[in-house]
Structure formats: structure tokens, C-alpha cells
Amino acid sequence: MADAALQGRDEHETTTGLPHTKLAMWLFLSSECLLFGALITTYVLYRGASTKGPFPADIFDIGYTSVSSFVLLASSLTMVLSLGAAQKRDFMRMRLWLVTTALLGMTFVGGQVYEFTAFYREGLAITTNLFGTTFFVLTGFHGVHVTVGILMLLSLTGMSFADRLPEDPAFPVEMVGLYWHFVDIVWIIIFTVVYLIPTGPVGK
Amino acid sequence: MSDIHAGSSDAEVHGQSAHAGHPGAREYVRIFFILAAITSIEVAIYYVREDMGGWFLPALFSLMIAKFAIVVLWYMHLKFDDRRFSRFFVMGLAGAATLYLVVLISLRVFLD
């Protein structure tokens, strides 16, 4: 305990039998449901309310976004594989899967940047219409969350190389993993609600 | 119960119980293929939505909920972890869902 405190590690006492950090992470993710719930609700509320285009049906490329969805799903797989390796204290594989997860996350964010740029060239900006405002705010917030997740993954990898992870590295990997999977489940909802339910001009 | 763990660190408590019953790599890969298959069905449904009529939205939302549940239960380990974690998450999820559903209903979104 004293050694851990000297090394600045997170070693809080627990009176519940559950790790407080993990409890706090679940509470944080629970509060994130409210944040993304508000953004998704706002999108649904103004769905089909834009009086001028471009409309979702005009610009969405479902094939392209489907590939992005598969990339994010694959990153969830590599994240749990990283946790599995951390539980076995296989540091090489843990780092490999952490970096792979970060790269898949970067691919997703890169794809989102490309998509935003393409939409902008087709005339959809955040101030163009209600669809543009609600779409960019919702997917932009999600993209920021993915980016934060990538930074967490890279920090974890860097700490591993610097030998600054606890003796059992599974705990911090699991905490970052919970955040990463949450970002994935938010995308599962966005992909269905925003992309797969087509919307045209008002009333259509 | 709490006395047993008083003075234990997060990492120690985690080490004692957290890994018990977690799936192995093979099961994680199997779950990924299930998720990928569901996503493929979602995309396929999108392209045949005209033929599906009133079944389009229920089918799409059922698949979305299935994917959500699979990730939360298996990849986030709620199926294997202490139930108190589930309660924490469901509390926020159900609270958000209820709040925003009431907002959408009160603004007559589903009637338009």
C-alpha cells in the first residue's frame, strides 16, 4: 500500500466490496446517457423539420457509414482482447491490442472528418438548417468522445512502456475499456436513429 | 460484507473478483461476428425498407437493442460483474430514456 502511494497509484480503500473507481466509472457512463440522450432527442425532435436542403436522404452514404460502424465494432473486439491479455499479464499482446484499438479509433474519426468535409462541400454546414445543426452537434460530440478514448488508449500504452502501470494492469485497461465500449454503444444508437431511418423534406 | 473488504484497495478488490467468469478470446471473437451479422442485417433492411412496410422500424429498433445489450452484457461484462454495477448503469439509462420519451411524447413527435 505504501509503495503504491509512493508511486502515485490509485489505491483507495473500499467499504462496499466493489472497486470505487469502477463504481465511479459506471456512474459517469450513467450520466453520459443523459448527455447523449439529450442530443439524440434533439435530433429526433427536429427530424424532418428542415425547410431547405440538403436533407439526410440526399447526402448520407450508408455503405460508407456501415464500414465506419464495422471499424468501431472491431475496435471493441480488440479492446476486450487487450483486457484479456492484461488479465494474463501478457504485456506484449496487451500493448498490441491497445495500439490496434487506437488505430481503429483513428480510422473511425478520420472517416468522420472526411464525411463532415464531404457534407460541407455538398452544402450542409452547422448553420444551414435544423438537420445540419442537430446532426453535426450529435455526431461531433460522439467524435470528440472517440478522440478522448484514443488519447486514453495511447496514454495507457505509453504508461505500459514506461512501466508505470500497476502490477495487475487489468484494472486500468478495464476502466478505459468501459469508456471505449460506451462510445461504441452510443454509435450503435446513432447509426440506427440518424443514418438508417431516412428523412426527406418536411412531411416526408 | 463491507467489513471483509474494509481497508482493501480498488486494485485488490478488482483482482479478487473481477475476472471470474469473463469470456475468453474465442467467445469475444464469436460475439464480434454476431454483432457484425446483426449490423449487416440492419444495412440490408435499410435497402429493402420499401418492401417491409410497417415492419421496418420495429425490426431496426429490435436489432439496435440486441446489439446494445450484447455489447453491454459481454464486452462491458455486466453479465458477469456484481449486480450493483448494472443497477448504476440501468438507473441512468432508464432515467434518460424515460425523461426524453416524455419530452418527445409531450411535444407530440410520434403523432406527426
**Residue A194 confidence (pLDDT):** 95
**Cα A178 versus chain centre, distance:** 10
Whether B5 shows a pLDDT value over 50: the answer reads no
Q: Per residue in A175-196, pLDDT tens?
A: 999 999 999 999 999 999 999 9
Percent of chain A with pLDDT over 70: 91
CA dihedral of residues A114, A120, A126, A131 (deg, nearest 10): -90
The H or E element spanning position A14 is strand A13-14
- Return the residue matching grid coordinates 427530424: A47
Beta strand A13-14 with B8-9 is antiparallel
Indicate if the pLDDT at residue A6 is higher than 80: no
**Exposed, middle or buried, B24 (CB in 10 Å: 0-12/13-18/19+)?**
exposed
Q: Confirm if A4 and A166 have CB atoms less than 8 A apart.
A: yes
DSSP 8-state assignment for residue B8: E
* Alpha-carbon separation of residue B49 from A131, A200, B100 (angstroms): 22, 15, 27
* pLDDT score recorded for residue B1: 37
CA–CA min distance A111, chain B (Å): 18
Residue with cell 502515485: A8
Q: Which of helix, strand or coil describes residue A21?
A: helix
Model pLDDT, residue B4: 41
Q: Comparing B88 with A10, which gets the higher pLDDT?
A: B88
Q: Exposed/middle/buried for A161, CB within 10 Å: 0-12, 13-18, 19+?
A: exposed
Kindly report, residue by residue over B55-103, the tens digit of the pLDDT: 999 999 999 999 999 999 999 999 999 999 999 899 999 999 999 999 9
Q: Using only the alpha carbons of chain B, give its radius of gyration.
A: 20
Structure confidence at residue A77 (pLDDT): 98
Chain B residue with minimal CA distance to A193? B61
Q: What is the pLDDT of residues A46-90, one digit of tens each?
A: 988 888 889 998 999 999 999 999 999 999 999 999 999 999 999
* ipTM of this complex prediction, to 2 decimal places: 0.89
Residue B9 parent element (H or E):
strand B8-9
Residues A90-118 have a mean pLDDT of 97
What is the enclosing helix (H) or strand (E) of B70?
helix B56-70
| Identity of the residue in A30, A45, A188 whose CB atom sits nearest the CB atom of B109 | A45
Q: Could you give the CA distance from residue A57 to residue A202 in angstroms, rounded to a whole number?
A: 12
Percent over 70 (pLDDT), chain B: 79
> What are the chain A neighbours of B45 within 8 Å (beta carbons)?
196
State residue A168's pLDDT score: 84
pLDDT tens track for A151-167: 999 999 999 999 999 88
CA dihedral for B29, B31, B36, B37, sign (positive or negative): positive
Mutation target to probe the A interface, by most A beta carbons within 10 A, among B68, B88, B104 is: B88
Find the closest chain B residue to A184 by CA distance: B71
Show residues of chain A in contact with B6, CB under 8 Å. 13-15
pTM value is 0.89
Residue B112 reports pLDDT greater than 60: no
pLDDT(A199) > 60: yes
Asked if A122 and A197 touch (Cβ cutoff 8 Å), the reply is no
> CA-CA distance, A198 to A192, in Å (whole number)?
10
The third-level CATH classification (topology) of the domain covering A62-198 is Four Helix Bundle (Hemerythrin (Met), subunit A) (1.20.120)
Say which residue, B23 or A105, is predicted with more confidence: A105
Closest alpha carbon within chain A to B70: A185
Return the residue matching grid coordinates 431547405: A52
CB A51 within 8 A of CB B9: no
